[in-house]
Amino acid sequence: MSAVSGCPHVTSFKSEFGTDPFRIIHRHFISCSSPISKKRKARSLFCHTCRQHAPRLHSCLYCVYFGCYGSKHIQEHSKSKRHNLAIDLTYGVILCFSCRDYVYDEEVDEIARREHQRANHSLGIMTLFTPWEPTKKEIQLLKENPKRRKVTGNSTIGLRGLINLGNTCFMNCIVQALTHTPLLRDYFLADRHICQMENDPQQCLVCEMARLFQEFYSGISTPHTPYRLLHLVWTHARHLAGYEQQDAHEFLIATLDVLHQHCKGSSGLSSRTSPHCNCIIDQIFTGGLQSDVTCQRCHNISTTIDPFWDISLDLGPPKSELGCNSDKFEELTSLTNCLKRFTRPEHLGSLAKIKCSKCLSYQESTKQLTMKKLPLVTCFHLKRFEHSTGYHKKISTFVSFPEDLDMTPFMSSSHGHDLANGEPVIRESASSLSSENKYSLYSVVNHRGTADSGHYTCFIRQHKDHWFRCEDNLITKASIQDVLHSEGYLLFYHKQILEYE
């Protein structure tokens, strides 16, 4: 029996050249099961046109040519050489330019499976995942429930209100944002979680989140009561226990921390094979913040990189300091300008001298923060609350934020230093990376009221261009204008192009 293929051009290619081109590319540039292959891949994986080590590289199947997809160099090569097949060097899938789509071929898929397995064995990883096979009980349930739910563009599956259990609007908003995080939703609905608390699974917050996702996407529209989630958060984050109003940002960080602790190691990678946690929370939410401290005497640069789950941004000076009619005020109070201030070099002054590792004396210095690694989901926390002894204040300044955000100007790769004087400079070549650093807005948490009392609501994106306002048990239709004109406290963005490591 011939292998199943979704593309006649792949079938024609195999009849003329066989499957060796697929196998060679997989073994030496995708799976890389030997140390020699890994070194070759590290040296060779760049676009032959722009010479950039950009993501989404494709290899032509007819000749020795690597081209990046984002800058359309592989497309231009295909058109000029009439080579209509290429292979994605990250995932190993075939791109057919004649069919204008990625295509499936059973024989090539089997080659990819064997090569990946070979590479996993060389790393000491026996199984990264196990295919789902229904149990007898699940087969019986499927027979008893033959009706299937079809998700369409107008579908309301996933939209469900949450009962307020007494000043728990802060929790309800974070739950709505998390349950509408696309990658987190895909993870839980695929039943990927393996409980690490075998002795007491009822205490596992990740198991409860999995149940919560099942509740949200079951098709039931009546409001859900998240009492078990609240109890678990109280149990594992004691500082949030009680019925008084809590801060939504603090609840988000506490929830991510407990989820991170409870799902460590469930990805299938042991701590011996990976120095970093590879749990789903870190894969989605963790980024790297680079701090460069420059000595003002010898211009030596000391660099540290710290992980982050969110970016907290100051809102800038009050409007009264800039003048009521100042156009500069509107310019300053945008998310982009908050990020510019966040990544701007800061002079630490004479009271904060540090000991330079090069000139071995305490010197004044400048400090600059940039993004070394962007997470798949970025949460921006607008610092609207000021707390000091006997003083609490909320900053209600309107901060404009875009539906689509390009983080390229704030990347470490976009910044450099003039070796002569240590001054920061912007590298023009960084513009080629912009397409890989673009984000789309999918949730906004808002606060209405004062620093001492108030109410949280949120906007979530259900499908593309379909926005809804969530206020505890009430879900109402909203427009993108409603979202962009809201005050904004927590802004959730996810990457437009996903590259998995």
Pairing type for strands 404-406 and 438-449 reads antiparallel
Assess contact for 459 and 442: CB atoms under 8 A.
no
Amino acid letter for position 365: S
Q: From the candidates 83, 231, 417, 455, give the one annotated as an active-site residue.
A: 455
Assess contact for 440 and 493: CB atoms under 8 A.
yes
Helix (H) or strand (E) segment spanning residue 282: helix 280-285
State the Cα–Cα distance between residues 5 and 136, nearest whole angstrom: 32
| Token pair for 59 | 């290899």
| Token pair for 435 | 């397409």
HEC secondary structure over 126-164: CCCCCCCCCCHHHHHHHHHCCCCCCCCCCCCCCCCCECC
State the Cα–Cα distance between residues 119 and 387, nearest whole angstrom: 53
SS3 content of the chain, % helix, strand, coil (to 5): 35, 25, 40
Helix (H) or strand (E) segment spanning residue 109: helix 106-122
State the Cα–Cα distance between residues 169 and 115, nearest whole angstrom: 50
Rg, C-alpha atoms of the chain:
26
Pairing type for strands 377-382 and 311-313 reads parallel
Assess contact for 347 and 366: CB atoms under 8 A.
yes
Q: From the candidates 32, 60, 169, 207, give the one annotated as an active-site residue.
A: 169
Please state, as a whole number, how many other Cβ atoms lie within 10 Å of the Cβ of residue 245: 17
The question of whether 77 is a catalytic residue gets the answer no
Tokens 């409870």: give the residue: 262
Residue 483: strand, helix, or coil? helix
Residue 3: strand, helix, or coil? coil
Distance, CA of 13 to chain centre:
37
Q: Which of 194, 184, 92, 174 minimizes the C-alpha distance to 376?
A: 184
Residue 452: strand, helix, or coil? coil
Q: Which of 489, 458, 463, 501 minimizes the C-alpha distance to 476?
A: 458
Instruction: Kindly list the distances between the CA atom of residue 131 and the CA atoms of 134, 192, 318, in Å, as whole numbers in the listed order.
Output: 10, 10, 56
| Token pair for 360 | 């071995």
Distance, CA of 270 to chain centre:
22
State the Cα–Cα distance between residues 390 and 392, nearest whole angstrom: 7
Assess contact for 176 and 162: CB atoms under 8 A.
yes
The question of whether 121 is a catalytic residue gets the answer no
Residues noted as catalytic: 169, 455
